[in-house]
Structure 1
Amino acid sequence: MSVAVFLQGPHGPFFAKLAKRLSQQGITTHKISFNGGDRYFAWADFLVDFTGSEGDWASFFKSYLLKHDVEAVFVYGDCRRYHSQARVVCESLGVAFGVFEEGYLRPDFVTLEWGGVNAFSQMDWTRDAIEKYESDLRKPCAPPVGQTFWHRASYAMGYYTAMRLARSEFPAYHHHRHRDWKAEGICWLRSFVRKGLYKITERNLTSKLTREFSKRFFLFPLQTRDDFQLREHSDLLSIENAIDRVLKSFAKNAPDDAVIVLKHHPMDRGFCHYQKLIDSLEVRYSIQGRVVYCHDLHLPTLLDHARGVVTINSTVGISALLHKVPTKVLGRALYDISGLTHQGTLSSFWVEPESVDVAFFRRFHTYLYEQTQLDGSFSKAVGATIEGVVKRIESAAEGSLQAKLSITSENSAS
């Protein structure tokens, strides 16, 4: 690889530091910014602002890649407006499309795949491919990342403030989230307040769930309101729609002694709240006293005592499998495979959930980790993460060379 382009990255300087590292390797780096927040955190050998309309983006991007002989493009998330179009352009030109995302395995890992992530992953996720995979015996090498809340919060507020201040310079920009900088800042402050509040109000809830309701409760971890996993990789209309569907099915089919626990997503803590909706649905479906709505309880502890997990397509599903907890996926997830998740209907899951094939899950976990995960974080102590990216790029380059040599050899033999 000699030329790489960066589009939108995670909030913060991760893409800038990665671009600088690649530049030190002799790779010419370009950064295309779509708003002031992108530009605020940007670094590359060449910095470019795209100020045109969304309709002009694909043709601009294609021309840019051809003009600069670009060999790889890196993005954070493959479902954003501009990234979706970029993926199509890269496919048409044969340009490598590297997609970063939060780790399939959490915490302490990030995802990097070529071509797409989640349900757009280009890897073979069939049981046959996973069982045939030969491990490279790679072991996690970076120390635990720890809490990243304040890093994420400060980067997000800096990003949205810069985006607001430079709004006149990017008049046609459409953001993938429908909040302005003031709303974003208020929500992060509210999240901080609620985090402290829930530490007090929920202090005895874990004990109650693990003692009184152990192996009697089903866990439904909610995803963020604007999660592309919900918007692109499921047929559900919204989180509210998902809550309604799950509680209705639970009320109709679950054993009378069962309880359902809905856990709010920590990144959505300050942005939305579902208590009123859940209260009304409890009454509508006559399940008062059988529904628990919580926020910041320790997830591994809950999984150790859960009877089953229902998820749209969250990576919590993988954590549940790690804890050998039967899991039902409502959307489209790469781990929704026979032997791992419940393949029957949601109504049957409450009564007779399919167990996890532990031996197969170990193979799946190894396959997932070695092929898609990098040790580290986007927002804290990112050095190890960046070194992992460099090694992944070098490995991909070697694979490309081997493929070319193989083709040359076959042509010569013929």
Structure 2
Amino acid sequence: MQARGGAPCVLFLQGPPSGFARALGAELRRRGCRVLRVNLCAGDRIFWPGPEVRSYRGSLAAWQGWLDRLMAAEGVTDLLYFGDQQPYHRAARPLAEARGIRILAYEYGYLRPDWIVAEPGGQSAFSRLCTDPERLRAAAQGLADPDLTQRYPLDARREARGDVIYHLANYLLAPLYPRFRRDRVFNPVLEYLSYLPRHVRARRGAGEARDLAARLAAGGGPVFLALLQMQNDYQIRANSPYRDQRRYLAELTASFAAHAPPDAHLVVKLHPHDNGLTPWRRCLAGLRRQHGLAGRLHLLDGGRIEDWARRARGVITINSTAGLTALRCGCPVLARGVAIYDLPGLTHQAGLDRFWCAPEGPDPARLRDFLRVLAHHLHVRGGFYGGPGQAAAIGALADRIVAAAPLPPVFDPAPPRLARARALGVPMDA
């Protein structure tokens, strides 16, 4: 598409709850691009005011028509958004594709902690990264192994402050954008209040994790680690067949009780930022009674994934990036949802029931190829919340956007994981 006036025109939709997107827009303007931003809610307005902003206050149903007219009138060449499964972004993707507009969806990285993933179109089910091991191997040739040592410190306080400001603004200032469709599962006031007792329990949870690890090591039986994710995460809501992870746990425990060795243990690890609104302890207690797993089914609220993955016989996840961390530790991984790393030679492919007795571990060469491609073609280094990490990420993303280079052949024309997503029952039209 030809931009109005010849210069690239970059349209930003929603970004992370920080000044990151606005700073990236300023850098792109410095490099000669025209920059537009659409604000959809009060939180957007707080983090990006200015003359380049358009506010949309209509309904989600009317959003596509309004956005299509804006793209045509302004000659948009590039579309950027944070979180490919946000309802407004899902609606924007096909419009941009039909107009030949380049799309860059960015998010917290598949690699952690100080990486940002930036893919054409979307992540997970909508990732266009190929699934052919031979093409991945060919693309990895000549690429250096990524240095995964943390380079930029994370500012957890700034991240938490931005998140609170953004979502409370949307809740308290809703009359400014009365038709905005919030994407939160929980009421934000209730959710933020729920974190207070969780922080109080954090130190106790770390101690309980150490005690559990010692008991299981003394017992000598195989240990399997099942990872829980955030209930309101779009990886669960839009890239998995589980709207509620209690169904995921019900499937795991039923299979474990029927097929795992009798001395095996299943440890269910809470997400570090779990808000405590789902009664996981009560859930596991019921499953323990139902399947006769007294002394074998445990809840873990603390500890490092790396430490547990190195001692576990296998790790089960829906699609958490922690699964990739476990693979890097050499631990067999079973993904129950749509995960970008769920590929033959990387993850267990023989089904849940066989995982307990014969888990398939990652092939080191295929994992090395995958990590090289992932770091070089899908990520930039840095973070969203200020400091040198934000500056590095902005520079790298601006380089990629301004270069406007054709996609490398490791990307497919259409997302190759969509068929699997549909077969799993992922709600593709949600």
**Fold similarity call, TM over 0.5:** yes
2:401 to 373, 393, 406: 393
The residue number in structure 2 matching 1:176 is 183
The one-letter code sitting in structure 2 at the alignment partner of 1:29 is V
Q: Distance in 2 between matches of 1:391 and 1:343?
A: 38
2:308 to 285, 302, 322: 302
Q: Is 2:392 the counterpart of 1:384?
A: yes
Q: Which structure 1 residue ranges, 4+ long, deviate > 4 Å from structure 2?
A: 138-143
2:344 to 338, 343, 347: 338
Pair 1:124–1:83, CA change in 2 (3 A): same
Stretch of structure 1 that moved more, 279-288 or 194-203: 194-203
Q: Using the TM superposition, give the Cα deviation of residue 248 of structure 1 relative to its aligned residue in structure 2, in angstroms.
A: 1.0
Q: Using the TM superposition, give the Cα deviation of residue 286 of structure 1 relative to its aligned residue in structure 2, in angstroms.
A: 0.3
Q: Distance in 2 between matches of 1:168 and 1:68?
A: 28
Stretch of structure 1 that moved more, 6-15 or 340-349: 6-15
Q: Using the TM superposition, give the Cα deviation of residue 106 of structure 1 relative to its aligned residue in structure 2, in angstroms.
A: 1.2
Q: Distance in 1 between matches of 2:71 and 2:37?
A: 12
Q: Is 2:201 the counterpart of 1:194?
A: yes
The residue number in structure 1 matching 2:227 is 221
The residue number in structure 2 matching 1:256 is 262
1:354 to 360, 363, 370: 360
Identity %: 29
Stretch of structure 1 that moved more, 154-163 or 189-198: 189-198
Contact 1:282-1:291 within 8 A present in 2 as well: yes
The residue number in structure 1 matching 2:121 is 115
Cα shift readout 1:350-369 (whole Å, capped 9, x = no counterpart): 11111221111111111111
Q: Distance in 2 between matches of 1:10 and 1:271?
A: 24
Q: Using the TM superposition, give the Cα deviation of residue 43 of structure 1 relative to its aligned residue in structure 2, in angstroms.
A: 4.8
Q: Distance in 2 between matches of 1:214 and 1:153?
A: 40
Cα shift readout 1:272-331 (whole Å, capped 9, x = no counterpart): 341100011001000011112112211111111110011111111111111111111111
2:319 to 313, 322, 329: 313
Pair 1:173–1:217, CA change in 2 (3 A): same
Considering Cα pairs closer than 8 Å and 6+ residues apart, tell me whether 1 or 2 has the greater RCO. 2
Q: TM-score, normalised by structure 1?
A: 0.90
Cα shift readout 1:217-243 (whole Å, capped 9, x = no counterpart): 101111110222222222234111101
SS at match of 1:342: coil
SS at match of 1:266: coil
Contact 2:305-2:326 within 8 A present in 1 as well: no
Q: Distance in 2 between matches of 1:279 and 1:132?
A: 49
Q: Distance in 1 between matches of 2:50 and 2:130?
A: 34
Q: Distance in 1 between matches of 2:219 and 2:73?
A: 63
Q: Distance in 2 between matches of 1:128 and 1:373?
A: 21
SS at match of 2:81: strand
The one-letter code sitting in structure 2 at the alignment partner of 1:3 is C
The one-letter code sitting in structure 2 at the alignment partner of 1:396 is A
Q: Using the TM superposition, give the Cα deviation of residue 264 of structure 1 relative to its aligned residue in structure 2, in angstroms.
A: 0.7
Q: Give ranges in structure 1 of 5+ residues lacking alignment.
A: 401-414
Contact 1:194-1:269 within 8 A present in 2 as well: no
The residue number in structure 2 matching 1:159 is 166
Q: TM-score, normalised by structure 2?
A: 0.87
Q: Distance in 2 between matches of 1:17 and 1:138?
A: 30
Q: Distance in 1 between matches of 2:396 and 2:215?
A: 42
The residue number in structure 1 matching 2:332 is 326
